[in-house]
Amino acid sequence: MLNRIMTESVRQFWDEQAATFDDEPDHGLRDPAVRQAWAELLLPLLPEPRQVTDLGCGTGTLSVLLAEAGHDVRGLDLADEMVAAARRKAAAAGVTAEFRQGDAAEPPYEDASTDVVLARHVLWAMPDPGEALRRWTRLLRPGGMLILVEGRWRTGEGSAGIAAGECALLVREHRGEAVVRLLPEPVYWGKEIDDERYLLVSAR
């Protein structure tokens, strides 16, 4: 019962954030330079069309970016308003992507049903990151790839996120590798940063 109440509270919070979510440069990728930076970071990881599952997809910006490159994308987000925004974004871009409401902690997909699991700033917010990773990696087909964008940043009340070293250790409990690339460059975020942000890729 408590978990259900907490999940509903989180859903309501992100529903309220949906209208302004893309105002952050790295969320909406409205700045051509920021968008190009993310395209150059992610697209070379997937040189051929793949089935991609974008967990905690938000307004679908990365889903649409990958769909425009020819990938078959499905996105999942807890907030209905985020899902609605993602659908509008895909329609405006003229691409096909499947978006549905659901909890990234318990993805409603079959095991071995996707080539790529992508999650951006989602793992740190999971009630049990290790259990979430177990479920996420089970979604992957043989030879599948896990792509995480995460960080450890300061907030008004302290800090949030998950450090790169901790994240890599968690991933290695379920996968054979965890390659981390730090992303300190302002072009990814639309501003200077002084915290830790990174890309983690596990291809086996």
Task: Quote the pTM value.
Answer: 0.94
Q: State the 10-residue block means of pLDDT for the chain, 204 residues long.
A: 64 90 96 98 96 98 98 97 98 98 97 98 96 98 97 83 97 97 98 96 96
Per-residue pLDDT at 1: 47
Lookup: tokens for 125: 């917010």
Q: Specify the number of domains making up the chain.
A: 1
Per-residue pLDDT at 39: 98
Report yes or no: 117 and 147 within 8 Å, Cβ to Cβ.
Answer: yes
Per-residue pLDDT at 4: 55
Q: Which residue blocks in the chain are alpha helix, DSSP H?
A: 2-17, 25-28, 32-42, 61-68, 80-93, 129-138, 164-172
Half-sphere CA count of 65, side-chain side, radius 13 A: 25
Contacts of 156 (CB under 8 A, 6+ apart): none
User: What's the CATH code of the domain at 185?
Assistant: 3.40.50.150
Per-residue pLDDT at 5: 53
Report yes or no: 55 and 136 within 8 Å, Cβ to Cβ.
Answer: yes
Distances (CA, A) of 49 to 45, 53, 60, 72, 77: 11, 13, 18, 7, 23
Range of the domain at 76: 2-202
Q: Dihedral angle at the C-alpha atoms of 22, 163, 54, 19, nearest 10 degrees?
A: -20
Report yes or no: 161 and 175 within 8 Å, Cβ to Cβ.
Answer: no
DSSP state of 23: G
Per-residue pLDDT at 195: 95
